[in-house]
Each structure stands twice: as C-alpha cells, then as structure tokens.
Copies of this chain bind each other. A is one copy, B any other.
C-alpha cells in the first residue's frame, strides 16, 4: 500500500529480508505466507503486511526445488489464427487447470519455425508436452527424453509416448456417402498442401472414393481461408465445375464457399460443400456449413487424460492404451 519507491534496490526481497524486518525466523515467515498452523494471528498479519511492503514474492524456483515440481505442460500449436486450434487449446487449458497443472504455450506458426523449434523452447520448462507435432513428432520426443509427449494427428508410427489420431476413413466415408447420395458425381477434395497431418485425410478420401467408385479430384492450397478461396476461384476459372466438394478443414471450406458463390455456383444447389473439424465458425457462414465435426472439447480432454495416465504411470509409454482414435460425426447444416 505504501508507495515506497525503493527503486534503487534492484534485487528481489528474499524470505530472509522479510524475516529480519519482522524480527522473526524464516520458518515463521513461511508459516505466515502459506497460512500454516503454529503461528499467532497477530504475528501472521504483521509478517504478511511487511512482506507486501517489501514486495516479497517467494521464488518459484526455490519452492519447486524443495517441494518437487508442480507439473507444467507445454502446448505446441502451429497457428492460433486457425480457429480450430484455439478451440483445442482452450479445452487443454481447461482440463489442465482442473488438475492443477499449468500450461506453457508456444505458437510456432509465425515465421518458418517448426514444431521442433517450439519444443526446443518449451523443453526446459515443462514436464510433458501436448501438440500438433507432425511431421516432427519423433524429434520432439527425443528432445523431451523420457518425459511424455502426446502428439495429435500424427501417424502412430512416430515414436511419441502417446497420441491421438482421427479415423479419416470413417470421416471420408460419411462425407463422400452423403455427397454421392445427394447426386454428386464429380467431387473435388480440397486438400491442404502442408506435408504434415494432411496425408491422412487425403489418402483416406482417395481410398474411400476408389472403393465406392466415386470420381474424386484432388486440389491443394495453403490451409487458410484466403488460399482456399483463391484455389477454388482458379479452379472455376479453368472451366472445371465440380458438383460436390469435401474440404480439408472448415476454415478452407469457408474460403471455398466464398469462391464458389463468386463463381456463380449455388451452394448447395450446384455444389454441396462439406468441411471438416466442426469449428463454431461454421454456423455463422452463409450457407451454414455442413461439416464432419469433432467434439473439440473432447479432444483436449482426451489429450490431457492421456498425459495424466502417462505421468502417473497408469498408462505405459507407447502401449496400446496410450493411443486413441477419435471419430468425426456428420453435422448437417445448409451447405450440403
């Protein structure tokens, strides 16, 4: 409360400064700060007040050293700008908070950084790591040593302690079935051009198409709305008129929607569109986006749950239980 400048004093006050100012011992200060028993109300208040005046903040390092780590988990995410990731991050933060963990975040989207860079920064600070790491999941686990890494959407062949993957065959089947039932015969799969997690979706779509005899053309773009929009505009300008579209993710689908409308194709009339992921944004588009939806909060919860098991030893590293597969669900709205 007293605005006491004390500016020249650059060094942090320690517990001993408080103790000597109050004329008591370290331990008594500890008792006062942590509301422990064995101290009179009077002394406790005096010490607390003095501590505040001196700007005393217990060193988290000293505390952690002696008490044995409160766990903090790293969260590595490619791009907070894609609405999918904040939804995911938010559920991770919630689940972690419930367990009393804290979350150190790194967003490696800007610049040319990769998940490995993020992990290198995070590694010295955390006891475990969750993230979208493909195709560097291996490298990240190496960086983390024995500390568990849960990787999302990377092939289980990558050697992380645990992982969550998605059943893209199932998703592709749901999506393509719906489109072909709606009469589409000339479907385009708009894929992301990023090496990483994309492979799964496009491969699954191709496989399902081949199996069911659906004609499927694959085009690619950066996984952003703007790039998707441009790609579809280009496609339409080339005279190609798909009569159905399955898109890598909802954000790209939003861009595709725009481009199709601009090209004079009605959605869903001329060309139904199905997105993937189920981000809240979908409901705000016109037409509202039909999508293969993931329960986003469940994804975060599952990731944290796995980590909990791995940390506690209830789940063994790389054991079958350490890998989960989640399924998409077709949410019908207006666009298909």
Contacts and interface: CB of A to CB of B under 8 A. Distances in A.
Interface of A: 7, 10, 52, 55-65, 69, 72, 75, 79-81, 83, 85-87, 89-90, 93-94, 97, 102-107, 109-110, 121-122, 124-125, 145-147, 225-226, 254-255, 257-258, 261, 280-281, 283-286, 313
Contact of A106 (B64, B102, B109, B280): B102
A62 B60 contact: no
12 contacts: A61-B69, A80-B87, A83-B281, A86-B86, A86-B89, A90-B110, A94-B110, A103-B104, A104-B105, A254-B284, A255-B284, A258-B284
Contacts of A313: 7, 10
A65 B61 CA distance: 5
A144 to B, nearest CB: 8
Given A85-B86, A145-B52, A285-B284, A94 B69 contact: no
User: Copies per complex?
Assistant: 2
A42 to B, nearest CB: 22
A121 B225 CA distance: 36
Given A61-B65, A80-B90, A86-B85, A106 B110 contact: no
Contacts of A93: 80, 105-107
A8 to B, nearest CB: 10
B97 A280 contact: no
A97 B64 CA distance: 24
Given A80-B89, A86-B86, A60 B124 contact: yes
A239 B258 CA distance: 32
Nearest to A111: B94
Nearest to A94: B110
B107 A105 contact: no
A292 B54 CA distance: 44
Given A61-B61, A284-B285, 15 more contacts: A55-B146, A56-B145, A57-B146, A65-B65, A80-B89, A80-B93, A89-B105, A89-B107, A90-B110, A102-B121, A103-B104, A104-B105, A105-B105, A225-B283, A257-B284
Nearest to A88: B80
Interface pairs A-B: 5 shortest CB-CB? A55-B146, A61-B64, A80-B90, A86-B86, A286-B286
A57 B286 contact: no
A72 B284 contact: no
Contact of A86 (B58, B61, B80, B286): B80
B285 A81 contact: no
A145 B4 CA distance: 13
Contacts of A286: 258, 261, 285-286
Contacts of A103: 104-106
Contacts of A56: 145
A283 B284 CA distance: 12
A150 to B, nearest CB: 17
A252 to B, nearest CB: 11
